[in-house]
Homo-oligomer: A and B are copies of this chain.
């Protein structure tokens, strides 16, 4: 609830200063909180009960009635904020008047696996938050139920990753796992085929698809854009798979390769 008679929070209000610190990973790790900005992300966060507090400008509260009523139902706190205060909290130039402080929503890998997922994406050491968020969004679209941020991967709660995920952070089971080799073992123990996406992989994606090799529950593992997957990690997978390159490009970028691989699995699961 907004408190009547209280001035909107500014960038100097202690609660805004505290929230702003969540732009830093260390603060997010210590508090278990993160920021989601813009009406779409805030709405999705509210649907998963992740929201602790919503900061909104006067104008945004007038424009986004549905969100404001969701804040009330969710028993989250609603604080009016000045444009300056909002600018301090938001990382984009057009934050659209609304930012939420959310609780971390990741689950353990073993919890995620109890849902018997048929499609999983593993981001192993993927460092670019925009790439990671885009793959998370694509994995959701392709019907993946779990996305694992493994090893030295970017923090899924990094603001750029949250924005690039376009709400998908709140749709799938997000897992953070420091040891990527342990992730491969756990996925295999759960009966999943682990495929390493690798531009130099011995197996051609199209051939695997026509041979029916993608019908089983599958976890796709994607590595860092510049150096690809760690060789030990790629070896631990059941197969290394390359997306065929028909033209003269040397490779695909991470987001494009992940889209082609994940949608190949989606087709196989629906046909198989």
Contact = CB atoms under 8 A, between A and B. Distances in A.
Interface of A: 134, 137-145, 164, 166-168, 171-172, 206, 243-253, 255-260, 263, 266-267, 270
A253 B134 contact: yes
A104 to B, nearest CB: 20
A64 to B, nearest CB: 17
A12 to B, nearest CB: 33
A246 B259 contact: no
A141 B245 CA distance: 5
A263 B253 CA distance: 14
Nearest to A248: B171
B247 A142 contact: yes
Nearest to A134: B253
A271 to B, nearest CB: 8
Contact of A252 (B138, B172, B244): B138
A247 B206 contact: no
A166 B260 CA distance: 19
Nearest to A44: B248
